[in-house]
């Protein structure tokens, strides 16, 4: 395993938020001290899903320096249709040479997010990697619970394989990536793809264990994070927000009694990790899912899987959203592009 640690660019204190991250958190108001260990008592009927979806639509800036052609298509799956967006460098669009593919699955807790919100990240990835980047508008919960999103991702892979010649895609050089819930879907797609078509999977702070704070081997707790004392309340507050969101997300996504400890649901507990291709884990120091993802890396290593980790100090869950305002986001896409080129 190769692990690359990316140091903070501005903040010099150890185990502290990067300065831009702390500024963002302070702007939200005082931390909810005293609530960090409380049980989630939010009733499903009280969840403002519309507001959650609005809050998740944070668009990054367009930092591309080359022209990117963006095309949307409606594709048929088994019993329905979804829209996909294709991003290609203009100078390569009409080339007859076969190109690598990067399938990007957006995040949003399975209940929000969309392709447009991560469009600029896809555009920049297409520029830097030279690959055809495709992003599916998969169905969201609670309208479509598990396994709808997974079926849409796998269906998109099927469609791309069937239509590879139309886009000059090299089907021997296909990667899949996603952030947050999208990283979860990317990994599960590889675990459940009987043809094992992907050569690389990149979860960006992906959800490798949906149970997290339940009775798990690693017993998630705030004490598992090292925190700079003066920032501790802000860091714990950020983790607490995701603890609350994760509990609600599970209820909305898993509606038929599925267990988050089932290997078909949470990749950490899968018995088929041998099906995974090369894995590149992108992690953040103060990500709610960091602890379970470290356990996932250990399991991959124990099974002799090819796994690399790029770890960003001082950052938290969601940093991939901040293209143009957080330099580490651009760096993250640059690193992923290198792996896609090298497939």
C-alpha dihedral, 17 to 21 to 22 to 26, nearest 10°: -150
- What is residue 115's DSSP assignment? T
- Using the predicted structure, report yes or no on whether residue 10 has a pLDDT greater than 80: yes
**Residue 179 in this model has a pLDDT that exceeds 80:** yes
pLDDT for 43: 78
Q: Where are the domains of the chain?
A: 2-341
Judge whether residue 94 has pLDDT over 90: no
Integer CA distances (angstroms), 199 to 137, 216, 293, 314, in order: 22, 30, 20, 30
* pLDDT tops 70 at residue 11: yes
pLDDT tens, residue by residue, 247-291: 888 999 999 999 999 999 999 999 999 999 999 999 999 999 999
Which CATH number applies to 2-341?
Answer: 3.40.50.1820
Mean pLDDT of 66-71: 97
What is the rounded distance in angstroms from the CA atom of residue 288 to the CA atom of residue 227?
13
Q: Which two tokens stand for residue 65?
A: 């320096």
Query: pLDDT at position 37, please?
Result: 86
Where does the pLDDT of residue 214 fall: very low under 50, low under 70, confident under 90, or very high at 90 and above? low
Q: What residues contact residue 48 under an 8 Å CB cut-off, 6+ apart?
A: none
- Quick check: pTM over 0.95? yes
Q: What is the pLDDT of residue 193?
A: 97
């Amino acid at each position: 395993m190769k692990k690359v640690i990316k140091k903070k660019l501005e903040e010099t204190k150890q185990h502290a938020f990067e300065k831009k991250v702390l500024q963002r958190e302070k702007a939200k108001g005082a931390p909810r001290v005293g609530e960090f260990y409380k049980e989630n008592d939010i009733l499903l009927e009280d969840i403002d899903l519309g507001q959650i979806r609005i809050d998740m639509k944070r668009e990054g800036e367009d930092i591309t320096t080359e022209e990117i052609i963006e095309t949307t298509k409606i594709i048929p799956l088994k019993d329905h249709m979804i829209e996909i967006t294709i991003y290609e460098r203009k100078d390569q669009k009409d080339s007859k040479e076969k190109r690598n593919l990067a399938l990007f699955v957006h995040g949003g807790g399975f209940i929000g997010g969309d392709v447009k919100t991560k469009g600029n990240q896809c555009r920049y990835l297409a520029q830097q990697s030279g690959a055809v980047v495709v992003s599916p508008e998969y169905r969201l919960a609670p309208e479509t619970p598990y396994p709808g999103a997974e079926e849409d991702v796998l269906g998109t892979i099927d469609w791309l394989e069937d239509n590879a010649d139309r886009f000059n895609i090299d089907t021997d050089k296909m990667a899949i990536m996603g952030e947050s819930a999208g990283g979860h879907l990317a990994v599960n797609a590889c675990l459940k793809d009987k043809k094992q078509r992907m050569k690389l999977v990149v979860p960006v702070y992906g959800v490798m264990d949906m149970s997290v704070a339940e009775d798990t081997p690693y017993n998630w707790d705030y004490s598992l994070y090292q925190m700079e004392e003066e920032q501790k309340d802000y860091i714990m507050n950020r983790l607490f927000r995701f603890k609350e969101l994760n509990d609600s997300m599970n209820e909305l996504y898993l509606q038929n009694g599925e267990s988050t400890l089932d290997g078909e649901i949470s990749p950490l507990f899968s018995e088929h990790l041998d099906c995974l291709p090369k894995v590149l884990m992108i992690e953040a120091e103060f990500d709610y899912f960091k602890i379970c993802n470290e356990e996932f890396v250990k399991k991959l290593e124990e099974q002799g899987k090819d796994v690399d980790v790029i770890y960003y100090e001082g950052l938290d869950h969601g940093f991939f959203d901040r293209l143009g305002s957080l330099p580490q986001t651009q760096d993250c896409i640059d690193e992923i592009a290198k792996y896609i080129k090298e497939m």
